[in-house]
Structure 1
Amino acid sequence: MIQIGLTGWGDHPAVYHPSSNAREKLIDYSSHFPIVELDASFYAIQPERNIRKWIAETPDTFQFIVKAYQGMTGHHRGKLPYSSPEEMFNEFKLSIGPMKEAGKLAMVLVQFPPWFDCRKENVDQIRYIRQQLEDYDIAIEFRHQSWYTGAMREKTVQFLEDLNFIHTVCDEPQSGEGSVPLVAIATRRDKSFIRLHGRNVNGWRNTTGDNEAWRKVRYLYNYTDAELTEIQQVIHKLQRESENVFVVFNNNSGGHAAENAKRLQKMMGIVYERLTPKQLNIFGEEL
């Protein structure tokens, strides 16, 4: 099965019903897509009440890809608000526990920062994460080129397979060591994962030092039909290697993600059932 969705549900005006208010965005979103990447969990471990609210607002078959908290991946700057790494991981597991119990947790996305390069101490950190989250499906996303340079590509893929990780296949600008190539290889038979960041080469690296402005242009990209055809071929390859392929569009800055995802869905002839019935067709067609 191929499941297509977006990063977050708060920045996609095209999928919201005209009569909806801000609190109904997830309900509207889940009328269009069967999966979503939860990115709020990256900035703060979410309180249980939020998790239970999101579970209640989505169909029984809806799935969440939960992004790991930034303190778990090395993104966090300054002092962590936890007494130990173990406490941090325990709080994270308590947070997402209800989602797992409800059968709505597709995987935990562990995305490492661009400076997380291929060396022993970082390999050890990945092993530690596996120990802390041993009962969870974990997708690993690298953002430093060294994991895929030369002979390391095969070793990285084998390492992920040996530890039962889901290899995150990335489509992103090729802009030096802070970006990774598209390596369309699944490491598990049940699940594979592809994240589409866009191909904005000029905006990928922060050369200004202004993080706020940079975030607005980093994922500013609109995939062409020809590029979506390339992505479709990647998806078909992953489908031959794994039962379920999760596809997430992360090119949110200009509002292109939802339209790109719908266009890919239409190109592939995919129709999703058992979604929330409240839907507005973003192509302007009658439902």
Structure 2
Amino acid sequence: MDIRCGTAGWTDKTLIACKRFYPRGSNSAEARLRFYASQFPLLEVDSAYYAMPSASNAQLWSERTPEGFTFNFKAFRLFTGHQTSPDVLPKDIAMALPEGITGPRKKNLYYRDIPAEVLDELWRRYREALEPLRASGRLGAVLFQFAPWITRAPDGLALVEDCRARMAGYMMAAEFRNQSWFDDQHAPWTLDFLRERGLVHVIVDAPPDVTSRVHTVWEATHPQLAMVRLHGRNTQTWSATGAASAADRFDYDYSDDELTGLAPSIRAIATRAGRTHVIFNNCFEDQGQRNARSLMRILGSDLAPLP
């Protein structure tokens, strides 16, 4: 089986501050990435959700990791229907927005607010930023984690279809947060929808008793890739409005018993796709890195070797 484990991000402030993952002297961005790549074969670039990525950074990441290493990219938040501050757009893009879209009362923009020609340019730059990694064979999937209010209604379907068209030629994975996609009535339809469009279904592990998540459905929709993302099971912080960061929201330490319980399902899904990515998104301090190492130990010989 080709199962690869990794974490969402590698430069979270709490991870660096805890001083338990990176060895002494790993004080530069280059040193940290090189060390991470010596421990795991897979990394999710979560910073690409918060701001547009750059081709120059992608080129450096390609040069600092070994052949066979894989980067998954998280799609920019504007593309997935999330509220987006004009401050995180490239300055020239923000300045090009028509008067009336931004202003003292308009703290956030949505995909529908952006003129077509500006969207075209944002997508062009996003794809351009991926190219150094694709050229070096290090680009895995581009993850679209759609906002909780993106439903199966026509406007939600239209957004997914537009993203798919914009990402033609790339491996696109879809993680939904609205339960309308995978409730008992619509789960088979959604799986067929993803299969027909060549999209990767993201299997989520998250608190079982929250509403802004979909059911955990262990199915693969793409022959080349299956994806599992582990968000932790912290109900109290999942939707906490006062959470200062992703590290606060996903503060959860999986026990070995919990990881052992997940292992059979991961092994089973790995038989249905050429490669399986398992990403830990519990990004408080070194929880994700420790849990990823524990799962690698549990899975043992089923794992793909480090590059």
TM-score by length of 1: 0.90
Partner of 1:188: 222
**Residues 223 and 78 of structure 1, relative CA distance in 2, 3 Å threshold:** closer
Partner of 2:170: 136
**Residues 244 and 216 of structure 1, relative CA distance in 2, 3 Å threshold:** closer
Kept in 1: contact 2:205–2:230 (CA 8 A): yes
Q: Percent identity?
A: 30
Kept in 2: contact 1:198–1:219 (CA 8 A): yes
**Alignment-mate amino acid for residue 147 of structure 2:** P
* Aligned match for 1:60, one of 56, 62, 67: 67
1:202 equivalenced with 2:202 (yes/no): no
Q: Distance in 1 between matches of 2:85 and 2:76?
A: 14
1:17 equivalenced with 2:48 (yes/no): no
User: What is the aligned residue count?
Assistant: 272
* Aligned match for 1:156, one of 180, 186, 190: 190
Cα RMSD for the two superposed structures? 1.7
**Alignment-mate amino acid for residue 193 of structure 1:** M
**Alignment-mate amino acid for residue 157 of structure 1:** L
Q: Distance in 2 between matches of 1:171 and 1:274?
A: 25
Partner of 1:241: 272
Partner of 2:133: 99
**Alignment-mate amino acid for residue 213 of structure 2:** S
* Aligned match for 1:108, one of 137, 142, 148: 142
Q: Distance in 2 between matches of 1:179 and 1:146?
A: 10
1:268 equivalenced with 2:275 (yes/no): no
Q: Distance in 1 between matches of 2:85 and 2:230?
A: 30
Partner of 2:98: none
Kept in 1: contact 2:247–2:282 (CA 8 A): no
Q: Distance in 2 between matches of 1:252 and 1:216?
A: 5
Q: CA deviation at 1:26?
A: 0.6
Partner of 1:36: 43
Q: CA deviation at 1:22?
A: 2.8
**Residues 48 and 104 of structure 1, relative CA distance in 2, 3 Å threshold:** same
Q: Distance in 2 between matches of 1:87 and 1:111?
A: 21
Kept in 2: contact 1:6–1:248 (CA 8 A): yes
Q: CA deviation at 1:231?
A: 1.5
Q: CA deviation at 1:98?
A: 1.3
Q: CA deviation at 1:173?
A: 0.7
- List runs of 5+ in structure 1 lacking aligned partners: 276-287
Q: CA deviation at 1:181?
A: 1.6
Partner of 2:3: 2
